[in-house]
Amino acid sequence: MRDLLTLPAVWVLAAVAAVFAALSPQFLTAGNLINVLIQSSAVGIVATGMTFVLLTAGIDLSVGSVMFLGAAVCGVLVGGGWPWWAGAVAMLAVGPACGLLHGLAITRLGLTPFVVTLSSLFVIRGLGLWVSRTRAMNLPDDFRQLATERVLGVPVPVWLFGVVLLASQWVVGRTRFGRHVLAVGHDAAAARKAGLDVGGVLVRVYLICGACAALGGLVALAQLSAVSPTFGRDREFDAIAAAVLGGASLFGGRGNVLPGVLVGAVTIQTVYNGLNLIDADPYSYPVITGGVVFLAVLADSLRNRLRGGRP
Amino acid sequence: MSGRLVLPAVALAAGLALLPGCGKSGEKPVTVGVAFETLQTEYWVASFETLKAELAAKNIKVLEAVADGDSNRQLEQVNTFITRGVDGIILVPKDGTAAMPMIEAANAANVPIVLYNRPPARKEGKAVAVVADNRSITRDTVKYLCELAKKTGKKQKAVLLMGDLADLNAIGRRDGFDDAVKEYPDAVEVVARVPTEWNQEKALAGLTNALQANPDVGLIFTSSDFLFPSVVSALKTRNLYHKAGEPGHVLLGGFDGDATAYQMLKDGYLDADGVQDMQFECMKSVESVLKLKAGEPVPDLIPDPGFVIHQGNLAELAPRMWGSKVKK
């Protein structure tokens, strides 16, 4: 709870929610709050994987493309007569495979994460377009069950988001691997001198990020029940914004999954949701959304400077 | 030259002479560069293939380039076309502003340039634009929907899914929508304008939120057919997806004429769709670039009047709807 209240994004989220609650009577209804959580799930899951990468002072610019390649493979298989669940499994396999390749390229070839994942952003999207032949593919209604089914009254996407958050928080906060991730992010050279397998940590971190990208993609795909050639485009920016809003540093070594990613993803979606509800001028969306993200990150940076830490 | 090399050299020379465009001695084949900003929608892929087929039918050599959304890369591609001595360029720029330096480069090299489907931001330099009349096609489509709304005898709440605000086509469609609904103040009330940035996930979230605020929405218009999966998903979640004529049917309209829209029309869920006449636009683009090369006059803007397809004229107009020919 203390962590929650010291996170500037929480106060920004509270302020945003207060404004929209005053402007729209629908905003604080249970149905709308569930809506916001469902809509935050896909980006939130991707942002969780991104947080692992950011903790090591890395970055993964390819997550949107990974979402698309997985969706394209799934669409082609399901369109070819495979059952929907087999398509979903294939989609989930694409993510870790891409992540593993990123990790190996970074650790074995000594390339920077920015260069590797920027290149693969194009390569993987190109593969997706190749696989799908740039066709829009509609998936059977069964696929939507993943998005519409409820367990104990809670929609499946929200369950998945919750499980990913809790599991990731446990890994980062309670396991040796989590401590190694933070150590590599603080100072990779020192971690290496201390005998840590830095390369092994990095490979696993990118593998986790790829897996989260595929799962987030699956959640988004289930809601749409269709694969379009633009699926997942620019999602890397939303994921990075959610992670940074949640307190992750682009310089590594600092950040958390809970409450960080949850607050970050929900804040971004709350702004979109509120603007839709009040039927705001469409031109105001990027200005207001960008302004809120900037305010939250500025507040976080100021707080860290006051504490004498890294911005 | 050794005897062993003479025979292959003669064969090679003979082969070259048989290549297309090399048959007439000394005559350089006409070459046109086709530069697309992206191939990431069915419309662009179908346009790219139709343009190439149109050029091939006239025995014109084609150089192809796709910039994957990068305007700087596209400028380099256009400069490369010019360096390679093309006789004309057909260009799909990312947006009207990005087209300006490419028009300038082509003008400086005296190479004719035609903009396909996206107009330049300013009337500077010499370029021909073959563009769907987004505003009028949308206006006609939405007017058709408004007439249907009027027949229900109840003022219908309407939602507009807007495209990218930097895209002149999206703005034209928004303006066409506004033109139409202004004429029906007693039949239609616009309750939400959702900016989608041409992104299906944003369209789904935005429409879901709009339906949350206005559960009794009776009319939805999407500025591009490729957002229909988002519309269908949002409606199904609220159990509002019904065929035309069934109780609870939400009036649906779109723009483009893609394969999903065609299927929805056939299945009875879609009421009307504004169709860009792709064949017309491709034919006019090729015709214009050749006329410019020959020094013949061509107007700066060639509008594609398009057409509105709906349940009443589906059988008649389906063969002209490009989405009806796309293999799924």
Nearest-by-Cβ selection for B229 from A29, A122, A225: A225
- Kind of pairing, strands B272-275 and B31-36? unpaired
More confident residue, A47 or A8: A47
In the numeric block, the tokens 């090679």 are attached to: B12
- Look at residue B40 in the predicted model and tell me its pLDDT: 74
Q: How far is CA B163 from CA B11, B221, B254, in A?
A: 56, 11, 12
B174 → chain A, closest CA residue: A282
| One CATH from 3.40.630.190, 3.40.50.2300, 3.30.230.10, 3.40.50.720 for B134-276+310-325 | 3.40.50.2300
What mean pLDDT is predicted for residues A43-64? 96
Cα B250 → chain centroid: 26
- Look at residue B3 in the predicted model and tell me its pLDDT: 44
The Cα A205–Cα A1 span in angstroms is 27
Asked whether residue A226 is assigned to any structural domain, the reply reads yes
Interface test with A, best of B37, B40, B43, B157 (most A CBs within 10 A): B40
What mean pLDDT is predicted for residues A93-122? 96
- Checking if the pLDDT of A255 tops 80, the result is yes
A148 → chain B, closest CA residue: B237
Report residue A169 as tokens.
């928080």
Tens of pLDDT, residue by residue, chain B (328 residues): 444 444 444 444 444 444 444 444 456 789 999 999 888 778 888 899 999 999 999 999 999 999 877 888 999 999 999 999 999 999 999 878 889 999 999 999 999 999 999 889 888 889 999 999 999 999 999 999 999 999 999 999 999 999 988 888 899 999 999 999 999 999 999 999 999 998 899 999 999 999 999 999 999 999 999 899 999 999 999 999 999 999 999 999 999 999 999 999 999 999 999 999 999 999 999 999 999 999 999 999 999 999 999 999 999 999 999 999 875 5
What mean pLDDT is predicted for residues A262-269? 93
Alpha helix segments (H runs only) across chain A: 2-6, 8-23, 30-55, 63-79, 84-108, 113-132, 145-148, 156-174, 176-186, 188-193, 198-224, 235-245, 262-277, 284-306
Nearest-by-Cβ selection for B205 from A39, A136, A279: A39
| Residues 109-168 of chain B whose Cβ lies under 8 A from any Cβ of chain A | 162, 165
Helix (H, G, I), strand (E, B) or coil at B131: strand
* B191 part of contact set with chain A, CB < 8 Å: yes
Which residues form the domain of A142?
Answer: 2-305
Nearest-by-Cβ selection for B200 from A31, A137, A224: A224
Beta bridge partners of B193: B160
What mean pLDDT is predicted for residues A213-218? 98
B323: closest CA of chain A, how far (Å)? 11
Is residue A300 a contact partner of residue A13, using CB atoms and an 8 Å limit? no
CB B237 to CB A148 under 8 A? yes
The Cα B12–Cα B215 span in angstroms is 72
Q: Which of A171, A310, A184 is nearest to A250 (CA)?
A: A310
Is residue B173 a contact partner of residue B140, using CB atoms and an 8 Å limit? no
Residues of A in contact with B326 (CB under 8 A): 135
Instruction: Give chain A's mean pLDDT.
Output: 91
Q: How many CB atoms lie within 10 A of CB A151?
A: 9
Asked whether residue A311 is assigned to any structural domain, the reply reads no
DSSP B184-220: -TTTEEEEEEEE-TT-HHHHHHHHHHHHHH-TTEEEE
- Look at residue B27 in the predicted model and tell me its pLDDT: 67
Helix (H, G, I), strand (E, B) or coil at B301: strand
Residues of B in contact with A230 (CB under 8 A): 40-41, 198-200, 226
- Look at residue A309 in the predicted model and tell me its pLDDT: 58
What's the CATH fold of domain B28-126?
A: Rossmann fold (3.40.50)
Is residue A261 a contact partner of residue A48, using CB atoms and an 8 Å limit? yes
- Look at residue A5 in the predicted model and tell me its pLDDT: 59
Residues of A in contact with B205 (CB under 8 A): 39, 269, 272-273, 276
What mean pLDDT is predicted for residues A8-28? 92
- Look at residue A14 in the predicted model and tell me its pLDDT: 93
Nearest-by-Cβ selection for A276 from B210, B226, B233: B210
Is residue A185 a contact partner of residue A85, using CB atoms and an 8 Å limit? no
CB A134 to CB B39 under 8 A? yes
Q: Where are the domains of chain B?
A: 28-126, 134-276+310-325
- Look at residue B264 in the predicted model and tell me its pLDDT: 96
Interface test with B, best of A144, A223, A231 (most B CBs within 10 A): A223
CB A31 to CB B39 under 8 A? no
Q: Which of B38, B115, B43 is nearest to B273 (CA)?
A: B43
Residues of B in contact with A138 (CB under 8 A): 229, 260
- Look at residue A4 in the predicted model and tell me its pLDDT: 59
| Residues 14-33 of chain B whose Cβ lies under 8 A from any Cβ of chain A | none
* B325 part of contact set with chain A, CB < 8 Å: no
- Checking if the pLDDT of A186 tops 80, the result is yes
Is residue A10 a contact partner of residue A4, using CB atoms and an 8 Å limit? yes
Report residue A270 as tokens.
């709350």
- Look at residue B24 in the predicted model and tell me its pLDDT: 47
Interface test with A, best of B164, B201, B232, B236 (most A CBs within 10 A): B201
The Cα B121–Cα B112 span in angstroms is 18
* B199 part of contact set with chain A, CB < 8 Å: yes
What mean pLDDT is predicted for residues A230-256? 88
- Look at residue B26 in the predicted model and tell me its pLDDT: 56
Which residues touch A263 (CB under 8 Å, ≥6 apart)? A4, A7, A9, A10, A13, A245, A246
Report residue A164 as tokens.
């990913």
Q: How many CB atoms lie within 10 A of CB B231?
A: 26
Cα A116 → chain centroid: 19
CATH number at residue A13: 1.10.3470
Q: What percent of chain A has pLDDT over 70?
A: 96
* Count of domains observed in chain A: 1
Report residue B221 as tokens.
């218009």
Residues of B in contact with A31 (CB under 8 A): 212
